[in-house]
């Protein structure tokens, strides 16, 4: 799959299409001159912070920690 980043608005568009006449779906700028990027390439800007999940159990009315996180 191909990806192109619009120089005008910074939006990324994805397509299996690899030819001319590629317009930005966000602002309409023609992206014919913009080279394709591989969308399989890891991009750290897409990563989100993982929040730890904690589970607790009630044992006779007392709250006990069960598992810290996955």
User: Three-class SS of residue 45?
Assistant: helix
Model pTM score: 0.51
The predicted pLDDT at position 70 comes to 47
The predicted pLDDT at position 11 comes to 92
Query: Which parts of the chain have pLDDT scores under 50?
Result: 69-70
The predicted pLDDT at position 2 comes to 86
* DSSP bridge pairs for 67: 55
The predicted pLDDT at position 60 comes to 67
Report the first-to-last Cα separation within the chain, whole angstroms: 32
The predicted pLDDT at position 17 comes to 77
């Amino acid at each position: 799959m191909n990806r192109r980043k619009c120089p005008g608005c910074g939006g990324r568009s994805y397509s299996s299409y690899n030819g001319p006449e590629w317009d930005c779906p966000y602002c309409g700028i023609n992206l014919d001159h913009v080279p394709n990027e591989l969308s399989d390439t890891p991009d750290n800007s897409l990563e989100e912070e993982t929040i730890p999940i904690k589970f607790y159990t009630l044992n006779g009315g007392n709250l006990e920690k069960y598992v810290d996180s996955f």
